[in-house]
Structure 1
Amino acid sequence: NHLLRKGSSQRLQVGDSSTVFWAEKRADMETSVVDIFGEPKKDDPDRQTRKVTALFKSIHHGRYVGGDADTRFFILGLAPNAARISVRFWQVTTVGELAGHIVRHFEDIRIVHGGRQPEYLPLFRLLASTAVQGKADNIPPNLAGDTLSAILEGRPYPLTLVAAAVQRCRAEREITYPRAALIKGCLNRATRYSNPDQKEELTVSLDPDNTNPGYRLGRL
């Protein structure tokens, strides 16, 4: 109840899912996760960017170098179920491992974008881009919880995520920044996990020097 209270800095609400975070001892990550994945606050719109930037700086040679790297960290995903709540996912990790997974997520969805677009897309913006009219109420059931769980555990994004992004592109005849980022991230993760020896991945921007026939046909 304490973690789920109104205004809790350790609770993230996306779609129909509520996720709470805590560590075995006080750690900045307990509240940073909400700032990183939540919508930027109107009175401090750059807060999310600062948090993500700081997290990137804390990763050197693929490892988190903070003093609390080995601190155990707990994540509980909850969803409404009639008059009760149900556990959607449960994860026990460490601050260091979680930091690595979050950084990997932002690297996977990173793609060229307009100057006025945010550098790091909040989770809600990504999910809302797959929903009809971009409304939170229209985010497909279970998609929010499944996507957040995949990010925090470092697993491939759910297949329903890329399917929803492609469907909205077709329906609205527009490939938006969030949808393009999602599709890129989903394809790269799927390739990486199905074929670990595959080194070639979709890049952040157009590669005019790529002579692969498939790549050139795609550009056409």
Structure 2
Amino acid sequence: MFWAEKRADMETSVVDIFGEPRKDDPDRQTRKVTALFKSIHHGRYVGGDADTRFFILGLAPNAARISVRFWQVTTVGELAGHIVRHFEDIRIVHRGKQPEYLPLFRLLASTAVQGKEKNIPPNLAGDTLRAILEGCSYPRTLLTASVQRCRAEREITYPRAALIKGCLNRATRYSNPDQKEELTVSLDPDNTNPGYHLGRLFAVLEKIQEEANPGINATIRDRYYGSVSSTPVAVFPTLIKLSK
């Protein structure tokens, strides 16, 4: 539940920002988030509501009672900044037909078995929303669930990649404020980190194998990823030789 101390656009915008796009207006969410980005990047919140107090009450069912998960008193301007930070943290390159800003439900569903709401891990939704609203690290369970789904389904989807990027960047940012390097939205050709270069090389080698053997069941990712991560100097010479 949420409300402002006086009428403010944020009261209605929050629903569009976090909710699934409406079928009769699929671009509504994108417009709302884009407007929020523009207002923050210009150093103010559109509408002059920046200092208006905003109240957020997180509730959860508990047997026959309702329990309070969290209570937050903030301002419209501060809340807008935290929401924009969230979308910046999970922003990652994607295909043209996919949404620019992923709704919260779609992010959470990507961590669940078969993508079903009932399979979303308990407490994950509340903990994730609280992290977004307070501007703190995402719950560790969110990263774990995303990685586990990638391993189980052997597919790294757009929402999962976005979550993994966001979780790692926030964990680094808040645990080590002096750390400047973060995962970027897309490929960083100027990154000189040896691990980053080896990751790019490994992707190229796997692509070579897939091109040479269409429909292959198990690639070098399935067989060598663990050893490549731990002892790259022993494995990469073999992989390069095999690629030829």
Q: CA deviation at 1:65?
A: 5.4
Q: Which residue in the other structure is 2:209 paired with? A: none
Q: TM-score, normalised by structure 2?
A: 0.79
> Structure 2 CA distance, aligned partners of 1:61 and 1:154?
20
User: What is the SS of the residue equivalent to 2:67?
Assistant: strand
Q: CA deviation at 1:61?
A: 5.6
Tell me if structure 2 keeps the 8 A contact 1:40–1:47.
yes
> Structure 2 CA distance, aligned partners of 1:189 and 1:168?
20
> Structure 2 CA distance, aligned partners of 1:203 and 1:44?
31
Tell me if structure 2 keeps the 8 A contact 1:36–1:52.
yes
> Structure 1 CA distance, aligned partners of 2:43 and 2:169?
18
User: What is the SS of the residue equivalent to 2:177?
Assistant: coil
Q: Which aligned runs of 4 or more in structure 1 are off by greater than 6 angstroms?
A: none
User: What is the SS of the residue equivalent to 1:161?
Assistant: helix
> Structure 2 CA distance, aligned partners of 1:27 and 1:75?
14
**Deviation string for 1:123-152 (max 9, x for gaps)?**
000000000000011100000000000000
Identity of matched residues, %: 93
Say which structure, 1 or 2, has more relative contact order (CA 8 Å, 6+ apart).
1
Tell me if structure 2 keeps the 8 A contact 1:112–1:205.
yes
Q: CA deviation at 1:66?
A: 4.0
Q: Calculate the aligned-residue CA RMSD, in Å.
A: 1.1
Q: Which residue in the other structure is 2:218 paired with? A: none
Tell me if structure 1 keeps the 8 A contact 2:44–2:50.
no
> Structure 2 CA distance, aligned partners of 1:89 and 1:186?
21
**Deviation string for 1:79-121 (max 9, x for gaps)?**
1111221111110000000000000000000000000100000
Q: TM-score, normalised by structure 1?
A: 0.88
Tell me if structure 2 keeps the 8 A contact 1:64–1:97.
no
Kindly tell me: are residues 65 and 32 of structure 1, through their superposed partners in 2, closer, same or farther at Cα, counting changes over 3 Å? closer
Tell me if structure 1 keeps the 8 A contact 2:56–2:73.
yes
Tell me if structure 2 keeps the 8 A contact 1:58–1:66.
no
Q: Which moved more, 1:61-70 or 1:207-216?
A: 61-70
Q: Which moved more, 1:42-51 or 1:65-74?
A: 65-74
Tell me if structure 2 keeps the 8 A contact 1:39–1:124.
yes
Tell me if structure 1 keeps the 8 A contact 2:19–2:103.
yes
**Which of 113, 124, 127 matches 1:146?**
127
User: What is the SS of the residue equivalent to 2:156?
Assistant: coil
Q: Kindly report which structure 2 residues correspond to 1:88-107, keeping only aligned pairs within 5 A, or say none.
A: 88-107=69-88
Q: Which moved more, 1:185-194 or 1:79-88?
A: 79-88
Tell me if structure 2 keeps the 8 A contact 1:130–1:168.
yes
Whose strand proportion is higher, 1 or 2? 1
Q: CA deviation at 1:210?
A: 1.8
Q: CA deviation at 1:63?
A: 4.8
Tell me if structure 2 keeps the 8 A contact 1:102–1:151.
yes
